[in-house]
Homo-oligomer: A and B are copies of this chain.
């Protein structure tokens, strides 16, 4: 195979969710395309690479030209609620669902002894300042329902004990449309413990 093509395939194969086979198909598609797709892709990549950075307030990726991100700028979102998430993908998921209309704070990871992630690795420096300056009354943890998620949650709560903020977390239980047959024992036990009276 031509080395230039091989190099390009290798770059695509490094992307998340793209294996070697898919990378070959992608590169073939791009190189045989006659609609200028490569130009558009290179342009969009370069533009994003040069102009996108994490919002210094909350960590959401945004345009440098704007300073802070669209959520931090939006005053209708200054409702005293702050949702703590692991990464930007979670923000997109929540925004798509429309269930939350406050501000976000992206940690950029979760505490983990195994992976060696310590509090210094997370985006926590300005959190207590945000709680104070943005008059946050409730922090909602929307972290993964895992040991790492719960550990991180507990750690953050412990750093904010001298504030009046209330803490909450997403409910655990059977997902909508979830068949009991396919649900693990842990979820089932949480769903039983948190059962609602009708």
State whether A44 touches B7 (Cβ < 8 A).
yes
Q: Does A195 sit at the interface, judged by CB under 8 A?
A: no
State whether B2 touches A61 (Cβ < 8 A).
yes
Interface centre among A11, A30, A45, A51 (most CB of B within 10 A): A45
State whether B11 touches A41 (Cβ < 8 A).
yes
Which residues of chain A in 15-46 are interfacial with respect to chain B, using CB atoms and an 8 Å cutoff? 15-18, 22, 24-32, 37-42, 44-46
Which residues of chain A in 88-116 are interfacial with respect to chain B, using CB atoms and an 8 Å cutoff? 88-89, 92, 95
5 pairs, CB–CB < 8 Å, chain A vs chain B: A2-B69, A4-B48, A7-B47, A16-B26, A18-B22
Besides A1-B95, A16-B25, A31-B52, 12 more A-B contacts (Cβ < 8 Å) are: A2-B52, A4-B63, A5-B48, A8-B44, A8-B45, A14-B37, A15-B29, A16-B22, A16-B29, A18-B18, A32-B61, A41-B45
Chain A residues near B (Cβ < 8 Å): 1-2, 4-5, 7-8, 10-12, 14-18, 22, 24-32, 37-42, 44-49, 51-52, 61-63, 69-70, 87-89, 92, 95
